[in-house]
Amino acid sequence: MASNDTYTGQAVFEPGFDAKPHSYPAKPFDEEYDIEVKVTHCGICGSDLHTATSGWGPIKYPLVVGHEIIGHVVRVGSKVDPAKYAIGTRVGVGAQCGSCLDCKQCNRDREQLCSKMLWTYNSKTPEGYTTQGGYADYYRCNYNCLDCKQCNRDREQLCSKMLWTYNSKTPEGYTTQGGYADYYRCNYKFVVPIPEGLSSESAAPMMCAGVTTYAPLKEHGAGPGKKVAVLGIGGLGHLGIQWAVALGAEVTALSSSSKKETEAKQVLGAHHYVNYSDLAAVQAAKGSFDIILCTSYSDSTNWNMLLSMVATEGKFVLVGLPEKPISFAAFSVVPRQVSFVGSSIGSPAQIEEMLAFAVEKNVNSIVEVMPMSKAAEGMNRVHNGQARFRIVLKND
């Protein structure tokens, strides 16, 4: 075990994916509310790649990324529920590690919308600490605003003081570091137990990719009688298809080629498949879908064409963050009252609900497992499109 003050992780030192071993100071342990987790697994997410390359803007290096963290509880604060978080309990941490917990968003289980939200890595805490991620041995974090509407409704992800698991600055000035590490430490509110019946390898991607696709489908009414299309059949999309099917919707997989049709139908359960590079197929699907969940895009994406497939008064839900601005014609949405909406991760309550649903409906992530020490190789494979849906790092 690392000392109370030092963790070891796989950090990037400059824009790119050349992650190397790095020791860094852990944030101070909150003796009342923190949980310390010994990391066993951490998924590689596209967000890790965007952040590591400064694709979403400059970051402070070195940085440990990783926000699909699975591990076991090794230390708890005095005010943490000992029954729910007993030493040795298998738990997960997603993309968020802090919020105010007392705003409109937090009070309705939407902590990810809190204005004080902290990311799991690369967030600056109020004390000035930069959070580091899950490519490491341990993790800890503890900042919450405790005073907004979002935190009070279990929507901590909407809190204005929301902290990301990595690359967020806490009020104390600490920049959060992520889960490519040996340990992770954070406020108990953002740690969720992993249910029996779900492997750690399968659970890891669900901490981000899973809830990022599950939450908006539930929020926007995917279910019996609804036609749902999932655009992109990758790390997010393969889970999005499974969720939509399990929720009872009629599901179409959308992709830019036909090469994934068999897998989308036979493995993931999609009822239909549309290759949107085929203009005739797009024309046939025009106005068809109550919900399009968009998990994939490129600089050349034709947003107007995609929006044409949304039904009147339907919703186009974007769950990714393109590095460049996007644009579409007002006529693509206004005449048919189509809603173009975004969705950001999910709250701890939504994650717990999703995990229980995954066990009930036998939804699983499709992953390849690699040693944590090969984080750089894994990141490059994901970047080059060589992963079969998701890569999960496992501590050696």
Verify that 188 and 256 share a domain, yes or no: no
H helical segments located in 144-274: 200-205, 211-219, 237-246, 261-266
Verify that 266 and 177 share a domain, yes or no: no
Give the model's pLDDT for residue 139: 62
159 lies in some domain: yes
Verify that 177 and 216 share a domain, yes or no: no
Provide the number of structural domains found in the chain: 2
64 lies in some domain: yes
Verify that 155 and 50 share a domain, yes or no: yes
Verify that 106 and 202 share a domain, yes or no: yes
* Contacts of 375 by beta carbon, 8 Å cutoff, 6+ apart: 10, 19, 44, 135, 180, 393
* pTM, full prediction: 0.93
CB 99 within 8 A of CB 150: yes
Verify that 330 and 191 share a domain, yes or no: no
Give the model's pLDDT for residue 138: 64
Give the model's pLDDT for residue 352: 98
Of residues 131, 8, 7, 12, the one with CA closest to residue 375: 12
- DSSP letter string over 311-371? EEEEEEEE-S--SS-----GGGTTTTT-EEEE-----HHHHHHHHHHHHHHT----EEEEE
Give the model's pLDDT for residue 127: 67
Of residues 111, 95, 18, the one with CA closest to residue 63: 18
Which tokens go with 320? Answer: 């990714």
Verify that 233 and 92 share a domain, yes or no: no
Q: How many Å apart are CA 153 and CA 112, to the nearest integer?
A: 11
Domain that holds residue 261: 209-342
Report residues of the chain scoring pLDDT below 70: 1-4, 127, 129, 133-147
Domain holding 263: CATH number? 3.40.50.720
Ramachandran angles phi, psi of 274, nearest 5°: -125, 125
H helical segments located in the chain: 46-52, 200-205, 211-219, 237-246, 261-266, 279-284, 303-307, 348-361, 375-383
1 lies in some domain: no
Domain holding 54: CATH number? 3.90.180.10
